[in-house]
Amino acid sequence: MKSMRSEDIEEHRQAIMGFGQHLTELLESMKSVTADSFLTSFPKWVPLPGSETRVAEMCAKLSGLTAPAAEAVEVAGVCVDYKPPGTWQTVPMNPISVWPTILTDSPMIEVNLIFHSCNVALGRLAVDSRHAHSVEHSLAGLVGRFVSFPRRVREAAGLPPGSIRGRLAFGAGVAAQIFVAVVAALLIAWLTKELGLGPESTKP
């Protein structure tokens, strides 16, 4: 996984946990039955009697959480092998993006494998988060964030790097860096003078 900031990693973790929580709540109102297809060995999930409205509402919520969670699992480098019907070869598949198939007669994945994939992704992201946190609080991390500030200003504005507006945003970021550096230098100089921390303070 490419290097990311700890707050970005935490967003991915929250996306996966939110998805897992809502999937759990959905399945509490459903039951598994044998799918009406010889092309799959995975069970199909259907609403419990009287739970159709709640299931529909939960499915709508879960659909909105699918894309962020699927991206988070992909960032963590987690996928499952899927063998399309009628073939002998497997292909990598995102376990989150195919969850709706458990509601059909041709499920592409088993529920336990979805939860297992989520747990593996959460574990990997937790390790990456601790590493990112330690780097960010090191001197190298502080310098790296300072140097990348102009680029992040341009990206936050959603501007392409080669455009005039993008270059202006980049320049604004550089100007802000210079301003902060100058103010910091003046502040340090003033504190050094006021607190008597300069070289002259060591003279007898």
Instruction: Give the pLDDT of the chain (204 residues) as one tens digit per residue.
Output: 556 788 899 999 999 999 999 999 999 999 999 877 777 788 999 999 999 999 999 999 999 999 999 999 999 999 999 988 878 899 999 999 999 999 999 899 999 999 999 999 999 999 988 888 776 655 444 445 544 544 554 455 554 555 555 455 445 544 554 555 555 556 556 556 655 655 554 444
Quick one: pLDDT at residue 156? 58
Which of 136, 165, 188 corresponds to the end of one domain?
A: 136
Which of 109, 136, 163 corresponds to the end of one domain?
A: 136
Please check whether residues 29 and 102 belong to one and the same domain.
yes
Quick one: pLDDT at residue 96? 97
The Cα–Cα gap between 101 and 123 comes to 26
Please check whether residues 37 and 99 belong to one and the same domain.
yes
Please check whether residues 115 and 147 belong to one and the same domain.
no
Burial level of 68, CB count in 10 A (0-12/13-18/19+)? middle
Quick one: pLDDT at residue 170? 47
Please check whether residues 80 and 143 belong to one and the same domain.
no
Is residue 77 domain-resident? yes
Q: Alpha-carbon dihedral of residues 57, 63, 65, 66, nearest 10 degrees?
A: 150
Domain housing 171: 139-201
Please check whether residues 166 and 98 belong to one and the same domain.
no
The Cα–Cα gap between 157 and 172 comes to 11
Quick one: pLDDT at residue 92? 95
Contact 40, 107 (CB under 8 A): yes
Please check whether residues 17 and 113 belong to one and the same domain.
yes
- Give helix 139-147 / helix 111-136 axis angle, nearest 10°: 90
Please check whether residues 117 and 182 belong to one and the same domain.
no
Which of 116, 136, 156 corresponds to the end of one domain?
A: 136
The Cα–Cα gap between 13 and 130 comes to 13
